[in-house]
Amino acid sequence: MVEATDPFCLRPGESAELLAGHPWRRFVVLGDSVAEGLCEPVDGYSELQWTDRIATELRAIQPDLAYLNLGVSGLRTREILASQLEPAVAFGPDLALVVGGGNDAFPATYDPDRVDRELTTMITTLQNAGADVITLGMFDISYSPAIPTWLRPGLRQRMRTLSDRTATLATKLGTIHIHLTDHPLSTDPTLYSSDGRHGTARSDAVATTETLRTLTRHLRPAS
């Protein structure tokens, strides 16, 4: 399988159709390694990571698009909030992507109420600053073959809780929500890197596809 023939990836010319006439000029990304971009290369797939690919596709329509990626690997939501929200708002975004909670949900100490509060603060602050906000229900890393068998049941439950609660927040707060947790490929081991914590270039290609298709539904909602 390669990206050009992968049925779960963008077809040639599709991104230009999806994003035609989009209004965004300033795109900021907040988050952890999913935002920073640590995908493992896969032959036949672009090595440009997810958020860089989104920015590239947006810029193809609006060449003056400004892009700032504040993502740092390993951060929990409280650290993203403390270190990234202020510079994100100062950037003056009209589109913001907030990715967080995966590092919180990995250990059994996960506190979903705290993560919800911290995500809510970031989302509403960015919205009040004039940005459309994108949120994410992540691919379920518990299906990675690198995750020990004993760890999978608890991790799967926590990742599901994070995904469900983030989706609930998205509905409540009116974000543009990208739901990958129930994607048909979520259980496919080719989506997950050998370290058991990150994705591969294929997962980023699929995530880009789902993001752009969701953005166009926001731009041109069905009547």
Query: How many Å apart are CA 198 and CA 9, to the nearest integer?
Result: 19
pLDDT(190) > 80:
yes
Distances (CA, A) of 113 to 35, 55, 73, 145: 22, 31, 22, 29
Query: How many Å apart are CA 46 and CA 40, to the nearest integer?
Result: 11
Question: How large a percentage of the chain has pLDDT more than 70?
Answer: 100
CATH number for the domain harbouring residue 126: 3.40.50.1110
pLDDT(145) > 60:
yes
Contact between 30 and 70 (Cβ < 8 Å): yes
- Which long-range contacts does 148-152 make (Cβ < 8 Å, 24+ apart)? none
**Mean of the pLDDT values across residues 195-218?**
92
Phi-psi region of 92 (alpha: psi -120 to 50; beta: other; left: phi over 0): left
What is the structure's pLDDT at 127? Answer: 98
Structural domain of residue 104, as residue ranges?
3-219
The pLDDT-based confidence of 146 (bands split at 50, 70, 90) is confident
**Mean of the pLDDT values across residues 175-204?**
91
Contact between 54 and 97 (Cβ < 8 Å): yes
**Mean of the pLDDT values across residues 76-101?**
98
Question: How large a percentage of the chain has pLDDT more than 90?
Answer: 87
Q: How many domains does the chain have?
A: 1
pLDDT(223) > 80:
no
Give tens-digit pLDDT for 116-136.
999 999 999 999 999 999 999
**Mean of the pLDDT values across residues 95-109?**
96
The pLDDT-based confidence of 39 (bands split at 50, 70, 90) is confident
Instruction: State the Cα angle at 177 between 100 and 34, rounded to 5°.
Output: 35
**Mean of the pLDDT values across residues 198-217?**
95
